[in-house]
Structure 1
Amino acid sequence: MVEMVDGMDVPKHCRTTFSTYQDEQLRTQGNKDYFITSGDKIRFFFEKGVFDDKGEFIVPKNRSVNKVGHALHAYEPLYEKVTHSPRVQGIAKRLGLVNPVILQSMYIFKQPGIGGEVTAHQDATFLYTEPLGRVMGLWFALEDATVNNGCLWFIPGSHKSGISRRMVRTPPGTFPLTDFTGREQDYDDEKFVSAPVKKGGVVLIHGEVVHRSAQNTSENSRHVYTFHIMESQDTRWSPDNWLQPTEELPFPPLYTQ
């Protein structure tokens, strides 16, 4: 990833800030073709405040990136190998998944001092299936994830209550390119439980569990590799989702490489 960031060449008009705040998604991610067409590509998304008003970096490039996504699993051999590894396949098989496919992959930096907050959300808001309960995230800690540097927090049992909000594509030719239906619930801070994990550990994330992570105000980064899989057997992938398979990259089966 160090080599990829060193060699990245992102046009100034595509230097997109990544945020999970709803209003900023509509203003930045969802409004930009750079984001909505990234499902079959490798693209770079940045933290707030890392560019001047001309789009030039004001911090070192390696400290500017929020995440890289969303097709590392398809185009970078190391990430492809990890994603399809026998141990990952073994997890899916033990969970009874018959024909899981890979939806997207990301490398998340959680930069020291500025790593942005990820607000409370459910992955099924963005990766919707019918029926629900067919999507799972695998979240690999490449460094220790602690309460101080922005580990995950979950509301236990929240995966049993469905979802109240969806991010959807708007009709072709309209603006913005995505919108939200429904609204995010208000969550009780006291219900969240931290999930620190040591380097090398993996967290399995149910598609409907409510989770978040705080801004990283520490001096230590919190790098992770994460990807989402879907049980495709007897499952309908919503055509309204921002992420869609393409002719260049259909969702690849997890059990083959």
Structure 2
Amino acid sequence: MTAGTVVTDAHRTSFARDGSYRLDAFASPEVGQAMLDDVVGLTRAQPRDLDGPLVLPEANLAGSGGRPEEVTSKVFKLHRRTHFARFLASRAVVDVVVNRLGPDIDCFLSQFIFKNPGAWGQPWHQDSYYFPFRPARPVLGLWLAVTAATLENGCLHVLPGSHHEPVHEHIDDRRPGANLGYVEIVDHDMSGAVPVLMNPGDLLVFDSHLMHRSTDNDSDGIRAAMVFHFAAAGTEDRTAEVLGAPSPVHDWVPVVRAGQSVLDGAD
């Protein structure tokens, strides 16, 4: 893991201008592999802990699949588990999130994305659409590449500067059979979008208003990633008020207080 102060003036400039920046080789490939191994074990566990991680099936695959992880789309609520908490407790992660959100920070969302062969991409969206919070901003996302992210296997595409936009109208994904919860923006010009190619261990840091999408996985392997979202301590989660029920995937956990990690990397 990168040590010391990892956020430079160039990163701050990129974030202000584009809404994101990438930290190459932020974590060792072994860090992502440990996360992958843990999540694979969760998908295979029977019976599952109903109060623990939430496993979502994949609606679209190249084949019928065999093992549980081969038919899984995402696994949520992981940041209390050892490998994930240890990552969040690292000095490098603390430096990244404190730089944007201040000294007191909670992690409220974590999801492991398998992106198995044949899995569809997720349409253009802003993550803040899913986050009816008060205050609404800032919310920060960290996207850790567990495997390589390529054009063939469905890497992210981002629209630089779109984080300056308000949250746009999102409509339900118009593709029949799309994954649960997929929505899309159709009222904005995305012609300036760029792909984000990543190696295992690379980290994308992005604003929750940044418009982004992923494409289909046309390769023979998974395009795995681990994603965390953070907000300043004291942020009010209004999901229950707005939608009539709490979010089943939100889990607010203090991770930084007074600029220091308060996690010990244990369950």
| TM-score normalised according to structure 1 size | 0.70
For 2:242, the equivalent position in structure 1 comes to 240
Q: 2:133 aligns with which of 125, 129, 136?
A: 129
Counterpart CA distance in 2 for 1:250 and 1:146 is: 31
| 2:140 match: secondary structure | strand
The answer to whether the 8 A contact 1:126-1:166 is kept is no
List aligned pairs for 1:82-231, cutoff 5 A.
Answer: 82-112=87-117, 114-165=118-169, 184-231=185-232
| 2:116 match: secondary structure | coil
The answer to whether the 8 A contact 2:121-2:216 is kept is yes
Q: Structure 1 unaligned runs (5+)?
A: 11-37, 51-56, 168-178
**Does 1 or 2 have the higher relative contact order (CA < 8 Å, sep 6+)?**
2
Counterpart CA distance in 2 for 1:237 and 1:99 is: 16
The answer to whether the 8 A contact 1:158-1:209 is kept is yes
For 2:15, the equivalent position in structure 1 comes to none
Counterpart CA distance in 1 for 2:46 and 2:112 is: 14
Q: 1:6 aligns with which of 44, 47, 57?
A: 44
Counterpart amino acid of 1:7?
A
| Percent identical | 24
Counterpart amino acid of 1:144?
A
List aligned pairs for 1:52-67, cutoff 5 A.
Answer: 58-61=64-67, 62-67=69-74
| 2:191 match: secondary structure | helix
Counterpart amino acid of 2:42?
M
| TM-score normalised according to structure 2 size | 0.68
Counterpart amino acid of 2:111?
M
Q: Structure 2 unaligned runs (5+)?
A: 1-38, 172-180, 257-261
Counterpart amino acid of 2:104?
N
Counterpart CA distance in 1 for 2:114 and 2:41 is: 14
Counterpart CA distance in 1 for 2:217 and 2:188 is: 21
**Compared CA separation, residues 204 and 98, structure 1 to 2 (3 A):** same
CA drift of 1:59 comes to 1.9
After TM superposition, the runs of 4+ consecutive aligned structure 1 residues lying more than 4 A away are: 241-246
The answer to whether the 8 A contact 1:150-1:222 is kept is yes
CA drift of 1:122 comes to 0.4
Provide the aligned C-alpha RMSD in A: 3.0
Counterpart CA distance in 1 for 2:112 and 2:152 is: 20
| 2:124 match: secondary structure | strand
Counterpart CA distance in 2 for 1:204 and 1:198 is: 15
Q: How many residues align?
A: 205
| 1:186 match: secondary structure | coil
